Amino acid sequence: MRFLLNLLLVIVLHAPPAIAETITEQELRAHIAVLASDEFEGRKPGTEGENKTVNYIATQWSQAGLVPGTGNQSWYAPVTLVERFPSAFNAAFAVTSDKQQRRQVIPASDIILRAKREREDILDIPVIFAGYANEKPEELRRLVSGKLALLHMRKPKGRNDLPDYITRKKQLITAGAAAVLSVVEGNVRWSRSTRFFQRSGTTLEGDQYHGNIEGLIRGDRIRKMLKKAGLHEDQFGIWQGDPDFRAMDVPVRIDLSAQTHIRKYASHNVVGKIPGSDPQSGVILFMGHWDHFGECRIADPLNPSKDRICNGAVDNASGISLMIEVSRRLAKANLSRDIYFLATTAEEMGLLGAYAFVDDAPFPLDSLIAVFNADTVALAEDGRKIAVIGMGKAGLDDEIEKVAKQENRELDRSGKSEVFIQRQDGYAFLEKGIPAYMITSAFADEVRLKAFIDGSYHDVGDELNESLLLGGAVDDANFHVALGHYFGSTATYPEKGSSDIGAN
């Protein structure tokens, strides 16, 4: 009898988890209907819309059986955001070879500035054209420290290996540049970029997140400066599309002055946890951003009732809805590892909530087994074909393929979705050497993805209506449940991978 009892105990302990109840389209649509409603005001951080959003998420996770995951019995991890609006500014330069050092004013139509503090003056500093800021950190520090760094905003074609603009600017600030001016080409891009710049620049709190002075400058104005200095743009391979252009000094010194309106406010990540039976075996993290743009259009006096709210149904009420329902299934699974769920703030402002979490996680980062980011999942009719953003960079490719095969999913191997790798929250973890993936059918449907980006993306048209496709989102949600079962159990996945991008 004792033998039979022991045998029964072994069978129970090693039995596969019960098949989870399938997530349905109705369940996802119900959450999107709430999160993307006008009542939630577009879910902009620091607004009443944020309060409603984070409370809704925490309530749903509590009802699903999760516990607060911040480490202090709260669902909410504060994230201090600093918003800066340019107020007044001026700039002038002098050619180094001019013995009289005659200053030439840069017209306000060709430059815009904001500062780290309310008032900042930087006088007579040397200038370096940093190109794409693609030197190694030590070399970049030697080149740009104490100088005004000119940074080309757009990457050259075919160089997807280069970091995005925000990351490259951060690298220059970290390297000690006294100021960073981003070079913008073309009238249309200049108009769009300056409008965005004037609305505000938001960072995490801390001197390391914003340059003493940052700004934009027209490419035409730079060329005029070079000509005044006796140089020609042919000497700067960046304008010939040279992807390997390296930083070079410009024989110019510049004065910059900027006044800035600064507002500091609190936002929140939401963190929930499903405790595992063997918490020492590691952590699995599911994440997605809850934030969007709030009221994104100005009032039309001729049509006061015209829609002004960016509701963000696809981006990213759909991803949060996926996480809520995935958490319900995994809460019943009795898995080995701790499973965390993270809803981040300020993704639209530069992955700020994700970076804040990485800086102050409630567990050691080296305990993370895998991170799965859910973002913009409601675009495909079904999820038979899935894009795996992070493939080839995150160390768990074979395991992902194994789960995909078990779930009868086909992997999109075109690699086209990798252009988005630095524009999603998982990148904050990849930089730390942690395996992080964004897996979705939406990014495997190139035609629909392009139509969305060219259409309602970040605009008032991204709202819940009958045309919203949730078939792919449902399949994605159920696939994430399968990922949770596989990686959450030491029986199916006992090991730990690593990212090829960064290191702990």
Dist CA 75 CA 69 (whole Å) = 6
Q: Please give the full DSSP string across 258-274, using - where no structure is assigned.
A: EEEEEEEEEEEEEEEEE
pLDDT, mean of residues 467-495:
95
Residue 239, pLDDT score: 58
C-beta separation of 464 from 38 below 8 A: no
Dist CA 355 CA 204 (whole Å) = 9
Of residues 118 and 308, more confidently modeled: 118
Residue 3, pLDDT score: 35
Q: Decide: residue 450, CB within 10 A, 0-12 exposed, 13-18 middle, 19+ buried.
A: exposed
Residue range 485-495, pLDDT digits in tens: 999 999 999 97
Phi and psi torsions of 478, nearest 5°: -65, -30
Dist CA 395 CA 283 (whole Å) = 16
C-beta separation of 149 from 246 below 8 A: no
CA distances 406 to 326, 402, 414, 426, 483, Å, are 18, 6, 21, 24, 11
CB atoms within 10 A of CB 98: 15
Say yes or no to pLDDT of 18 above 90.
no
Which residue blocks in 256-333 are alpha helix, DSSP H?
Answer: 318-330
CA distances 82 to 198, 213, 333, 371, 390, Å, are 15, 15, 40, 27, 30
pTM, rounded to two decimals: 0.86
Strands 213-218 and 179-184: parallel
What domains does the chain contain, in order, with CATH numbers? 18-81+266-488 (3.40.630.10), 83-263 (3.50.30.30)
Label residue 503 left, alpha or beta by phi (over 0 means left) and psi (-120 to 50 means alpha): beta
CB atoms within 10 A of CB 240: 10
Residue 161, pLDDT score: 75
Q: Decide: residue 87, CB within 10 A, 0-12 exposed, 13-18 middle, 19+ buried.
A: middle
C-beta separation of 273 from 101 below 8 A: no
Residue range 256-280, pLDDT digits in tens: 999 999 999 999 999 999 999 999 9
Residue range 45-61, pLDDT digits in tens: 999 999 999 999 999 99
Residue 502, pLDDT score: 61
- Per the prediction, the chain carries an average pLDDT of 90
Say yes or no to pLDDT of 9 above 50.
no
C-beta separation of 442 from 457 below 8 A: no
C-beta separation of 430 from 407 below 8 A: no
Q: Please give the full DSSP string across 403-436, using - where no structure is assigned.
A: HHHHTT-EE--S-GGGGGGGGSTTHHHHTTT--E
Q: Please state the separation of Cα 66 from the chain's center in Å.
A: 25
Residue 439, pLDDT score: 97
Residue range 140-165, pLDDT digits in tens: 999 999 999 999 888 777 777 778 88
For the chain, how many helices (H) and strands (E)?
A: 13, 18
Say yes or no to pLDDT of 15 above 50.
no
Q: Which of 193-207, 342-356, 439-453 has the lowest mean pLDDT?
A: 193-207
Of residues 309 and 226, more confidently modeled: 309
Say yes or no to pLDDT of 498 above 70.
no
Say yes or no to pLDDT of 376 above 90.
yes
318, 319, 324, 326 alpha-carbon torsion, rounded to 10°: 110
Say yes or no to pLDDT of 65 above 90.
yes
Q: Which residues pair with 127 in a beta bridge?
A: 148, 250
Residues 6+ apart with CB under 8 A from 69: 75, 271, 272, 273, 340, 341, 342, 362
Residue range 164-210, pLDDT digits in tens: 888 889 899 999 999 999 999 999 999 989 988 987 789 999 888 89
Q: Which of 21-30, 72-81, 187-196, 433-442 has the lowest mean pLDDT?
A: 187-196
